[in-house]
């Protein structure tokens, strides 16, 4: 099997080196080791080759070569997926990291961003125009993966999820064609991209709606751990009256000695004086050890979290959707923080409400639009002294299991791993049937599999009555030599 894959990979590499503008890297090339580096250092996948694409045409050629030679595909944007789906073992990685172009139309408040752009790149480019994009809480995350999967973040309550601001996308499909998808063209694809992740093609560029916002009132409040339960109860109460302008992320971090602290990271995007009053109220939920709150740029807000997501450290993630922070849930979170197996481990709570919760469920493929909390349990560790991560993974699974009874069905697909079968099967809610039908029509051979979909995607789930008949094609089906 290894020889067959290696031969196919070498054949694909030879063809792409003759055709592509960007570089093609195989394990024998000096740049291959650097290309393997992604956020989660625990990932040990070794692809057969990297196609470091510089143009949409490069992407088309890479898709066609993978199909021609039967090499499995994966796509790397920002490389921040904890499960390592960007690196397909023995496969061909379509690496979009060289594609970092950004064009800002300040009058229309729209940005065109290529597939390798990071969230911080766009925030920096938009800031001189007094504009901001809806992003996650960390600037180093790839914007395409964040947007296609959902996009929780500090501006979610005021403006909606990141995916709600996708205006149009340029996509290379599984047959190598380049298409554009928006509200009037390829509308099924446009619907599926917004929440269905990268399962439908390679998004080489996105058009994103921007918003006029020069500053927010935001920062970080740290509380001693013995006040964790009291502060979390106050946080839950505040969530009940929070207006759209207020977003508060909470959770567990470490002090300089590795001991747990409870944090609140509020962001206010409304009138500054009212925001300062609300921030003062949040500080009174406990006795802060430190509070750095005030007017700041959105870019500086994203930078606050960089120290918690250090590239190359080893990570595993468990994720739950919680309908509320009830006393038993709070007790479980406090117990989890008290028993962490590493000072690099965090627990993150994000309140989903406001504009994001008012979008009708069927408008996009995203599977949950009711108010809730996203709870991410992020176990991180340094692999020193032969630490294989088993204790940290076990801790994260235990916490997830303790929250399961109180959780909503499913979970945030972007944070679910390949083994989270029960959650994946329910992550898209009533949107699943339509999502799978579009997948069958656009990618019947399953070329793309970036975001988890249920294992029944291809053969044994019933088709809806209005869907076209299922067809069977070989995984090595030929595609046109030159995609459109």
pLDDT in tens, 235-259: 999 999 999 999 999 999 999 999 9
276 burial level (CB within 10 Å; 0-12, 13-18, 19+): middle
- What ranges do the domains of the chain cover? 2-95, 102-212, 216-418
Q: Tell me if 448 sits within 8 A of 174, measured CB to CB.
A: yes
Q: Which residues of the chain have pLDDT under 50?
A: 1-5, 456-484
Q: What is the pLDDT of residue 303?
A: 86
Tokens of 249: 């992320």
What is the CATH class of 102-212?
alpha beta
Q: What is the pLDDT of residue 385?
A: 79
Q: What is the pLDDT of residue 475?
A: 33
Q: What pTM was estimated for this model as a whole?
A: 0.91
Q: d(Cα 226, Cα 262) in Å, to the nearest integer? A: 9
Q: d(Cα 80, Cα 473) in Å, to the nearest integer? A: 33
Q: What is the pLDDT of residue 5?
A: 42
Q: Topology of domain 2-95, per CATH?
A: 3.30.43
Q: Topology of domain 216-418, per CATH?
A: Vanillyl-alcohol Oxidase; Chain A, domain 3 (3.40.462)
pLDDT in tens, 411-422: 999 999 988 999
Q: What is the pLDDT of residue 455?
A: 57
Phi-psi region of 322 (alpha: psi -120 to 50; beta: other; left: phi over 0): beta
Q: Tell me if 117 sits within 8 A of 96, measured CB to CB.
A: no
């Amino acid at each position: 099997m290894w020889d067959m894959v290696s031969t196919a990979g070498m054949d694909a590499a030879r063809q792409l080196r003759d055709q592509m503008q960007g570089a093609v890297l195989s394990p024998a090339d000096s740049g291959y080791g650097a290309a393997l580096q992604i956020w989660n250092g625990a990932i040990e996948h070794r692809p057969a080759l990297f196609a470091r694409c510089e143009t949409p045409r490069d992407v088309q050629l890479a898709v066609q070569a993978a199909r021609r030679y039967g090499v499995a595909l994966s796509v790397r944007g920002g490389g921040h997926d904890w499960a390592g789906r960007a690196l397909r073992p023995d496969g061909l990685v379509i690496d979009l990291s060289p594609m970092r172009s950004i064009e800002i139309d300040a009058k229309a408040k729209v940005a065109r961003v290529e597939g390798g752009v990071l969230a911080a790149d766009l925030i920096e480019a938009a800031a001189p125009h007094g504009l901001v994009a809806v992003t996650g809480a960390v600037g180093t995350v790839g914007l395409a993966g964040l947007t296609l999967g959902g996009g929780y973040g500090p501006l979610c309550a005021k403006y909606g999820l990141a995916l709600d601001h996708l205006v149009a996308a340029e996509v290379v499909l599984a047959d190598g064609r380049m298409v554009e998808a928006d509200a009037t063209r390829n509308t099924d694809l446009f619907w599926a991209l917004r929440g269905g992740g990268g399962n439908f093609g390679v998004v080489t560029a996105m058009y994103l709606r921007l918003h006029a916002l020069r500053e927010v009132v935001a920062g970080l409040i740290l509380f001693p751990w013995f006040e964790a339960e009291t502060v979390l109860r106050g946080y839950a109460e505040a969530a009940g009256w929070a207006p759209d302008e207020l977003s508060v992320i909470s959770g567990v971090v470490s002090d300089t000695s590795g001991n747990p602290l409870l944090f609140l990271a509020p962001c206010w995007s409304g009138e500054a004086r009212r925001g300062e009053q609300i921030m003062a109220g949040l500080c009174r939920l406990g006795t802060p050890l430190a509070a750095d709150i005030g007017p700041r740029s959105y870019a500086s807000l994203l930078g606050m979290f960089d120290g918690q997501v250090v590239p190359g450290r080893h990570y595993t993630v468990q994720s739950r959707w919680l309908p509320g922070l009830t006393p038993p849930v709070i007790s479980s979170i406090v117990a989890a923080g008290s028993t962490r197996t590493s000072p690099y481990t965090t627990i993150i709570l994000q309140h989903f409400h406001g504009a994001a919760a008012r979008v009708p469920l069927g408008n996009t493929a995203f599977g949950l639009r009711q108010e809730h909390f996203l709870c991410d349990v992020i176990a991180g560790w340094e692999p020193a002294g032969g630490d294989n991560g088993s204790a940290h993974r076990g801790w994260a699974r235990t916490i997830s299991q303790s929250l399961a009874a109180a959780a909503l069905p499913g979970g945030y697909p972007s944070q679910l791993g390949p083994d989270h079968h029960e959650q994946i099967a329910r992550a898209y809610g009533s949107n699943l049937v339509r999502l799978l039908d579009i997948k069958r029509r656009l990618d019947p051979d399953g070329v793309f599999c970036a975001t988890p979909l249920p294992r029944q995607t291809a053969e044994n789930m019933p088709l809806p009555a209005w869907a076209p008949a299922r067809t069977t094609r070989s995984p090595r089906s030929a595609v046109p030599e030159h995609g459109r």
